[in-house]
Amino acid sequence: MDSYTCTVCAYVYNPEDGDPDAEIDPGTDFDSLPEDWVCPVCGASKAEFEVVE
């Protein structure tokens, strides 16, 4: 599973960690996140994220 970085604030979504504050379980792939999920740091939408290479 790929990690994704927010192009607005550089937060990295790591699927191994999930997003506990948003009740996203560890092991949740970025593509499986709800469409209304936003960056927990700056509130940017999923569209503002890019895969970490």
9 is in an annotated binding site: yes
Q: Are 32 and 19 in contact (CB under 8 A)?
A: no
42 is in an annotated binding site: yes
Rg, C-alpha atoms of the chain: 10
39 is in an annotated binding site: yes
48 is in an annotated binding site: no
What gap in Å lies between CA 12 and CA 28, rounded to an integer? 14
- Residue ranges for the binding site? 6, 9, 39, 42
Annotated binding site for Fe cation: 6, 9, 39, 42
